[in-house]
Structure 1
Amino acid sequence: MGKASTNKESQLSYLKNRLEMFMDVIDHLDPEHAEVDDIDRLIQILDDMEIKVEQFKKDQ
């Protein structure tokens, strides 16, 4: 996905972008047609973001 972010501003920007992408997916997800795999993928995205937050906390 690219080089690791090392400064606070780029880390925050990365997380904001990931959150915006997540929100776009949620906004466009049709609940009537969502499958378990779709929900699993959303949970994985959240888990990945949580890991990044923890990594960024350690860097600070």
Structure 2
Amino acid sequence: MGGPVYDKQEQMKYLHQRIELLMTMLDNINPEEAGVEDIDRIIDMLDDLERKAKQYRQDWDGKDA
């Protein structure tokens, strides 16, 4: 997951991969042992995902206009 992605299909693939990574992380967290750091990491990942989705939406709006 290196440089910028401009193709819609690649952008969707990127988002899908990030969601899969988040789901894997959630599946592997032991609720009995999870700490504040784990919750903070999940929040950071969700924030990054939201930021990318908004960026891609703006890219798509600009291309379709």
User: Which TM bucket (shorter chain)?
Assistant: over 0.9
> Is residue 50 of structure 1 aligned with residue 50 of structure 2?
yes
1:14 aligned residue: 14
Shift of 1:58: 0.5
What is the alpha-carbon distance in structure 1 between the residues aligned to residue 3 and residue 48 of structure 2? 16
For residues 3-59 of structure 1, what are the alpha-carbon distances to aligned partners after superposition, in whole Å with 9 as ceiling and x for unaligned? 111010000000000000000000000000000010000000000000000000000
CA distance in 2, matches of 1:4, 1:49: 14
Indicate the structure (1 or 2) with the bigger Cα radius of gyration. 2
TM-score using structure 1 length:
0.97
CA RMSD, 1 decimal: 0.6
Normalized against structure 2, the TM-score is what?
Answer: 0.90
Tell me the number of residue pairs that the alignment of Structure 1 and Structure 2 aligns: 60
Q: What is the percent sequence identity of the aligned residues?
A: 43
Consecutive unaligned residues of structure 1, counting only runs of 5 or more, are none
| Structure 2 unmatched runs, 5+ | 61-65
